[in-house]
A = this chain, B = another copy of it.
Amino acid sequence: MNEFAKPTLDDVARAAGVSTATVSRCLNAPDRVIATTRERVMQAIETLGYTPDFGGRALASRRTNTVGAIIPTMDNAIFARGLQSFQEALSRFGKTLLVASSGYSPAREREQMEVMASRGVDGLLLIGSARPEASVEFLRRRGIPFLGAWNLGGEDGYFVGFDNRAAAAGLTEKVLAKGHRRLAMIAGITEMNDRAADRMEGVRAAAERAGIPADELPVIEAAYTFDEGAKAFGNLMALAPRPTAVLCGNDVLAVGAMQKARELGLRVPEDVSITGFDDIDLAGVVDPKLTTVRVPHNRMGEAAAEMLIRLINKEQVERRIEIPTAIVERGTLGPPTPDPAT
């Protein structure tokens, strides 16, 4: 090799004393190479200043070894845990994850799909199923495999998620079983958010089954921030009669509600019960710890990675993988205290 020539895969293989296939594997699926070999190869790459030509490789294999994810938000770590597992599983397949966040805007999600498509991704993870048909069509026409996570979707498409509606109904039944009749809900913004809409429907359905009609169950939709949760909770506490249990569309709203309860001098759960959804780290940090729905973030992330890899490889896959949720009973749900005024 000439001093000024760009080092090639062959040069690296020769320097490391391995085959070019092994060098490739070190770059594409490092976990499939034993550590000592990988180190020798990586050292040769470093010493020679070899730069893998991803562009060229992509052209050759039509693969970029890049996977995209478009999530609604990076804030409050709602999607962080699942995405982390998704990324770790992908990296075992030699894929790198690029993430964009849409701010819950379908228009921005669409723009990001276009960027992902033009930058070249082998596949795409989206959250849920609520989006304009045109966005779905865009990906189909481009032949980019994609799936929805965090929910189970409708007739079409591939999903790895859980049943938001059933989980919310199950938690509501638990609240009703404690003796609560005056329920209220702080839901996420349901427009173009199937997870938020399903959770709201689940709460309503369980309440109706218990003989509480929808018009006796006040629901406020609020963006997933502490402040919005607190504000909505304040409004619900001003109702007469006051709700004895407030079901929240996620943990962030629930923690906002708890903060407001403290401000109002209301004890949780003695004066009012509050429940969350997601079981993010936050749920274990507040006092009392939050009763919530545990979402299987790790298993979902891993299963999503495996499904997407299969879609990319054009292998057979099931259309939906449902992962069970669980109710985590901690300290914020108790029986209602009889109203001193009645």
- Using a CB–CB cutoff of 8 Å, the interface residues on chain A facing chain B are 46, 51-55, 58, 64-66, 68, 73-77, 80-81, 83-84, 87, 91, 96-101, 108, 111-112, 114-120, 134, 138, 226, 255, 259, 262, 281-282, 284-287
Contact = CB atoms under 8 A, between A and B. Distances in A.
B80 A98 contact: no
Contacts of A74: 74, 77, 80, 83-84, 99
A84 B80 contact: no
A46 B46 CA distance: 48
B64 A75 contact: no
A105 to B, nearest CB: 10
A111 B96 contact: yes
A interface, over-half SS: helix
B87 A96 contact: no
A115 B98 contact: yes
Given A54-B118, A226-B281, A99 B96 contact: no
A114 B66 CA distance: 11
Nearest to A115: B96
A98 B98 CA distance: 6
Contacts of A87: 101
A259 B100 CA distance: 33
Given A100-B99, A101-B87, A138-B51, A285 B115 contact: no
